[in-house]
Amino acid sequence: MFAVQQEETALPPQIRAMNWRTDRAAVLAFQKEVYETNFPGFRMTVSFLRDYEAQLRQALRSQMERILVLEDEEGVCGLIWLSLITTMVEPLVGYIKNIYVAPRRRGEGWARALLEEADRWFQQNGCPKAALDATISNERAVQTYLRAGYVPARYRMEKHYGSTNQIAGA
Ligand SMILES: CC(C)(COP(=O)(O)OP(=O)(O)OC[C@H]1O[C@@H](n2cnc3c(N)ncnc32)[C@H](O)[C@@H]1OP(=O)(O)O)[C@@H](O)C(=O)NCCC(=O)NCCS
């Protein structure tokens, strides 16, 4: 008897619209890393996750928002959350609210692919530009955005006072 050798062919990851029922748990699980990376000192809480879940659900029902996930054979492994917003001076801007690629898929160009999907959707919807907020210490994310054509437009500047117990003049 000869054993039939079956060639293992891993399907490439796919980008598709988020499904609330099947993808919610994975998308929520990503948020601990997203927020702890971008807001040093942040600690995930049940109430934060509950609020986030409610926002996700609302976004999935809105024409002004779009959430895509990346899926490979092991499951959902990435996310991009897009929103059409107005600013004080611009009637329509494509805003990236969240992007995530699971560690097992990083460095393969999936963030770039998700950002290209964002470009397509924003342009289809008439946006003259896209925007996002990034944390300077998150070098990998900043590099990703620079490579995708984003440039810094505003700086958020901070000044640290040291001990918060010391009140000036006291
Ligand atoms: C930021 C993040 C989305 C990047 O995902 P990724 O799939 O690894 O990124 P890509 O493979 O598409 O790489 C895009 C660019 O990032 C840069 N990059 C990739 N790997 C890198 C690394 N190890 N170190 C530094 N930069 C790197 C490169 O410039 C690359 O461009 P190139 O392909 O022309 O070389 C991912 O690291 C992540 O999910 N981080 C945690 C969540 C997070 O911080 N999200 C951002 C919220 S603002």
For every residue of 106-155, which 3-state class applies, written as one string?
A: CCCCHHHHHHHHHHHHHHHCCCCCEEECCCCCCHHHHHHHHHCCCCCCCC
Report how far ligand 1's centroid is from the alpha carbon of 110 (Å).
8
Ligand 1 pocket at CB < 6 A: 33-34, 37-38, 99-101, 106-112, 134, 138-141, 143-144, 147
> Within a domain: residue 33?
yes
Q: Which residues contact 75 (CB under 8 A, 6 or more apart)?
A: 26
Asked if residue 95 is part of any domain, the answer here is yes
Is residue 77 in a domain?
yes
Distance 24 CA to ligand 1 centre (A): 23
In CATH, what number is assigned to the domain containing residue 111? 3.40.630.30
Q: How far apart are CA 87 and CA 64, in angstroms?
A: 14
Find the 55 Cα to ligand 1 centroid distance in Å.
25
pLDDT at 3: 47
The Cα angle at residue 115 between residues 113 and 118, in degrees rounded to 5? 115
Most ligand 1 atoms within 8 A of CB, residue of 37, 114, 143, 145 to mutate: 143
Amino acid at 36: E
Q: What is the pLDDT of residue 4?
A: 47
The verdict on pTM exceeding 0.85 is yes
What pLDDT is attached to residue 166? 57
- pLDDT per residue of the chain (170 residues) written in tens, 0 to 9: 444 454 567 889 999 999 999 999 999 999 999 999 999 899 999 999 999 999 999 999 999 999 999 999 999 999 999 999 999 999 999 999 999 999 999 999 999 999 999 999 999 999 999 999 999 999 999 999 999 999 999 999 999 998 766 555 54
Domain boundaries, position 22: 14-147
Number of domains within the chain: 1
What six digits make up the tokens of 103? Answer: 């560690």
Please report whether residue 6 resides in a domain: no
What's residue 9's pLDDT?
Answer: 75
